[in-house]
Chain A
Amino acid sequence: MNFPILSSLILLPTLGAIFILFTNSSNKKYQSSKYVALFISLANFLLSLYLWFIFDKSSVEFQFLENREWLSGYINYKVGVDGISILFIILTTFITPICIISVNATIKNKLKDFLIAILIMETFMIGVFCSLDLVVFYLFFEAGLIPMFLIIGIWGGERRVYSAFKFFLYTLLGSVLMLIAIISIYWIAGTTDVEKLYEVGIDAKYQNLLWLAFFSSFAVKTPMWPVHTWLPDAHVEAPTAGSVLLAAILLKMAGYGFIRFSLGLFPLASEYFVPLIFILSLIAIIYTSFVALMQEDMKKLIAYSSVAHMGFVTLGIFTMTQQGIEGSIFQMISHGLISAALFLCVGVIYERHHTRLISEYGGLVSVMPRYAVVFMVFTLGALGLPGTTGFIGEFLILMGTFKKNFIVATIASLGVILAAAYMLWLYKRIIFGEIVNQNLKLMVDLKRFEIVILFSLVLPIILFGFYPEPLMDTIKVSVGNVLEMYNLNINSNIAYNN
């Protein structure tokens, strides 16, 4: 099959953005451009579902490969997917239309520009998950900074400038070190093609430094403690759709990068740095959970909970067990859905009451019963109740961790309890109790488009919570392959040293 389906996935949103740029819709309140954006992103979603449908789950090879000459003599434009990346692509194409529908409520000015930014962002995000060349990966990974900077800075809240700068500079600082590492890999191994690098391998003496350079980028993006401080700021100030994109997809780029590049390219260094990752992950899980408990701002609370959840992800990846890695990927998908949903929920009440302070809310159950139900599902998902996707991810990660290190697993389990504490307490304070403010009585329950987007998130959370098989099935072979290569490398190195 020669149809370049991955490039189409990458390019379609950009084409849509260019089309919107040239549609003249100064009157009629830009509605037409919104429908165009929605149509494009839905088409992209269907295309990605089709991709999943024709994807061969039993193969360890990268599929739908495209390889074109790009920087002549140096670097080729190479894209392809395996079981791991395809899920992230579908997550991206699924979340983008939801973001576009949600702008109905939140974006008041320059709607057209906002839609263009979101569509361009989608291009870059899909590109990150498809690319099989380090330079192409870097290109997409970094390019995403531009639209996100604008989304936070133009449509954000009070301290948007500070947050946008912090987001941009933190991420850039992490990434430039990765660029040095990528160029070094080119001169060490003679290529930046990921598949070839898997075969050739990288000399053991360089691995630790290169691993650290990649780590600096991914740790900022994940974000891991102690470089997580940009995330709460960015989340609080970003508009709802921006927070959703940030939490649901941008953070996942780093987790994906850990699996694809850190484990795949530098197995020896990954093994060497396991203690570091474990310690940082545990701090992230426990410390940020306590921080989350103390938050007065809803978005900040969810942002800190994201850090804690991503702590589980990094923990799971570096257990180097089938369960751990599968659990991490599942957790990332699940967190993508749940955190997106939680930010949308905050957006719903923020748009009505114009504050994010928890103390300003209370007793919403009597005013907004439908909202209370939906919010309940997401809260339970976030704390990992069996029957939601959150449970399966955390359960698998802990299972993998117990295999590797009992103490680490025990401490990490505390994080699950803390998650329950801060999420349920948040829920209690907002939904139950007295109505603290007369204005709250005037709040209307969910509108139709809000029901559509929130229920479209409830559905996969519960569906895959009870029946995770379709997702697990997709990633199983690829994760097995990653681990097999990893163990092969470790063992051959031990044999070599003996």
Chain B
Amino acid sequence: MENLELIVPEIFISIAIMFLLILGVFKKNSSILVYNLATISLILLLALIYNLSSISDTSLFNESYKIDKLSNFMKFLMIISGIFVMLTSSKYLQINKLNKIEYPVLVLSSILGMMVMISSNDLIVFYMGLELQSLSLYVLASFNRENLLSTESGLKYFVLSALSSGLLLYGCSLIYGFSETTNFNIILDNSNEIQYGLIFGVVFIIVGLAFKISAVPFHMWAPDVYQGSPTSVTILFAILPKIAALTVFIRFLYVPFINMIDQWQLIIVFLSIASMIFGAVAAIGQTNLKRLVAYSSIGHMGYALAGLATGTNQGIQSSITYMSIYLVMNLAFFSCLFMLRKNDDYYEKIEDLSGLSKNHPLLAFSFLIILFSLAGIPPLAGFFAKFYVFMSVIEESMYFLAVVGLLSTVIAAFYYLRIIKIIYFDPEKHKYETNHSVGLKITLILSTLFIIVYFIYPSGLTEIVSKINVI
């Protein structure tokens, strides 16, 4: 009999999804209730996962499902950001009349899918999780169905994602064909000699995963989807699937195919360099803030991949630290975006920020901190994120990657500075409303404070992360 108490979080969230769906169907006008219950069940989920943090590494269901330090930490990160995403977007949904009961249920089911992805130790389990989260996200992207852009983004995401899933499945089948199994651990045992079929399989799966984290050259969907989706979904896109996909990346490359590091390392290095440069250069010309975040997140995934490319535990840890800090910065940035509201309209053009510092000094200051942090200027948290990554990259003597990465931070600094310039140096334009929901305010204050004071005690995060050893 399997040790089911280890997957209590997954069981709990499945029951919560079904219960909320039934509740929503049978009780009239229950959208706010369902939304709040979903948030509460996420908080309970967080407690359940925290409860598991002391358990030693175990595998379930014929070693196809893994509960270890990596999965627990990443689930923890994902659910914390899930809670904050729910807190920040409630008012946005109400105002845009998107607060249907399906919305929180879909968010929860995508989170369930991602939890399965994070824990997966088997190609089939991994693919099931991936599809569950993708299906929920397709619907979420086009949730604002009366809006042309939103519908377009949903369709675009669906078509391109289906293509990448196809590639991924093809890769899975190749790997299955050449190693006679789908289980990660057994693949490792069976792949002592390097076979071309396996290499092709790995490449196909890397392509599929790179699509999910929108690494160049598989980033095409990101700008349109980020811009078109409702902002509350964009923030989800920017954080949650990336945490899950990065975890799968780590587990997939470092468990079954660690012996083939010579084969895949160069691919990851290329993805990383291309993403860093492209993300920095392409963001310069953008006028829409959500689109700009799309490009900037492409760049940021480049840095996370740089840590992954090292092939060491330190490298993985630096990537995970990077993701943790990146998600806080993104939460803060989107909280600021949610605050640009006037007469029930949300503003998302860069020029709408013009002269923000005159009427909203605190909001402008938060923007300032967040943008400098995204640019990686010390002493803010974003600097440390990059610092850890380059520590591990240079440890492996990958100087080219380090030089390109740091030079592209200079290019990226340019467009972050441009936003700061518009906020601080340009004449004022709009006066926004200030009655925001408490959850939104708390999210912004907490995340901005985290970014500012991170430098006082940087060891806290690294100590937790340094316990995660995959190899």
Indicate if the CB atoms of A180 and B403 lie closer than 8 Å: yes
**A176 with B406, Cβ < 8 A, contacts A143-B377, A153-B424 known:** yes
Contacts of A184 in B (CB 8 A): 394, 399
Bound CA–CA A260/B402 (angstroms): 25
Bound CA–CA A70/B457 (angstroms): 7
Indicate if the CB atoms of A146 and B377 lie closer than 8 Å: yes
Interface flags, A163-198, vs B, CB<8A=1, else 0:
011001100110011011001101100000000000
Bound CA–CA A337/B263 (angstroms): 60
Which size class do B's interface residues fall under?
A: 20 to 34
Contact of A180 among B378, B399, B417, B462 (CB under 8 A): B399
Bound CA–CA A150/B368 (angstroms): 10
Indicate if the CB atoms of A168 and B394 lie closer than 8 Å: no
Indicate if the CB atoms of A143 and B424 lie closer than 8 Å: no
Cβ of B372 under 8 Å from chain A: yes
Bound CA–CA A73/B388 (angstroms): 13
Contact of B394 among A149, A161, A172, A183 (CB under 8 A): A183
Contacts of B407 in A (CB 8 A): 173, 176
Task: List residues of A (50-78) whose CB comes within 8 Å of B's CBs.
Answer: 69-74
For A72, the closest partner residue in chain B by CB is: B459
Indicate if the CB atoms of A169 and B378 lie closer than 8 Å: no
Cβ of A160 under 8 Å from chain B: yes
Indicate if the CB atoms of B455 and A161 lie closer than 8 Å: no
Cβ of B458 under 8 Å from chain A: yes
Contacts of A186 in B (CB 8 A): 391
Indicate if the CB atoms of B421 and A179 lie closer than 8 Å: no
Task: List residues of B (447-471) whose CB comes within 8 Å of A's CBs.
Answer: 455, 458-459, 462-463
Cβ of B354 under 8 Å from chain A: no
Indicate if the CB atoms of A172 and B413 lie closer than 8 Å: yes
Indicate if the CB atoms of A180 and B424 lie closer than 8 Å: no
Indicate if the CB atoms of A153 and B425 lie closer than 8 Å: yes
Indicate if the CB atoms of B425 and A160 lie closer than 8 Å: yes
Bound CA–CA A160/B421 (angstroms): 10
Q: For the complex formed, measure the closest distance between the CB of B370 and the CB atoms of chain A, giving whole angstroms.
A: 13
Please count how many residues in chain A sit with their CB below 8 Å of the partner chain's CB atoms: 34
Contact of B421 among A139, A165, A176, A187 (CB under 8 A): A165
Cβ of B127 under 8 Å from chain A: no
For A113, the closest partner residue in chain B by CB is: B361
For A173, the closest partner residue in chain B by CB is: B410
Bound CA–CA A142/B403 (angstroms): 18
Interface flags, B383-415, vs A, CB<8A=1, else 0:
100010011001100010011001101100110
Cβ of B379 under 8 Å from chain A: yes
Cβ of A138 under 8 Å from chain B: yes
Cβ of A154 under 8 Å from chain B: yes
Q: For the complex formed, measure the closest distance between the CB of B359 and the CB atoms of chain A, giving whole angstroms.
A: 13
Cβ of A145 under 8 Å from chain B: yes
Indicate if the CB atoms of B459 and A153 lie closer than 8 Å: no
Contacts of B424 in A (CB 8 A): 150, 153-154
For A156, the closest partner residue in chain B by CB is: B425
**From A150, A153, A179, A187, residue with most partner B Cβ within 10 Å:** A179
Indicate if the CB atoms of B409 and A154 lie closer than 8 Å: no
Q: For the complex formed, measure the closest distance between the CB of A75 and the CB atoms of chain B, giving whole angstroms.
A: 9
Contact of B406 among A71, A161, A180 (CB under 8 A): A180
Bound CA–CA A74/B406 (angstroms): 21
**A69 with B459, Cβ < 8 A, contacts A143-B378, A145-B377, A180-B403 known:** yes
Indicate if the CB atoms of A139 and B462 lie closer than 8 Å: no
Indicate if the CB atoms of B390 and A183 lie closer than 8 Å: yes
Contacts of A150 in B (CB 8 A): 368, 424
Contact of A179 among B368, B379, B390 (CB under 8 A): B390
For B414, the closest partner residue in chain A by CB is: A169
> Can you list 30 residue pairs at the A/B interface with Cβ under 8 Å?
A71-B458, A71-B459, A72-B459, A139-B379, A142-B377, A142-B378, A145-B377, A146-B372, A146-B377, A149-B420, A153-B425, A160-B425, A161-B421, A164-B417, A168-B417, A169-B417, A172-B413, A176-B406, A176-B409, A177-B403, A177-B406, A179-B387, A179-B406, A180-B390, A180-B399, A180-B402, A183-B390, A183-B394, A186-B391, A187-B394
A-B complex: 4 closest residue pairs judged by Cβ atoms: A72-B459, A176-B406, A139-B378, A183-B394
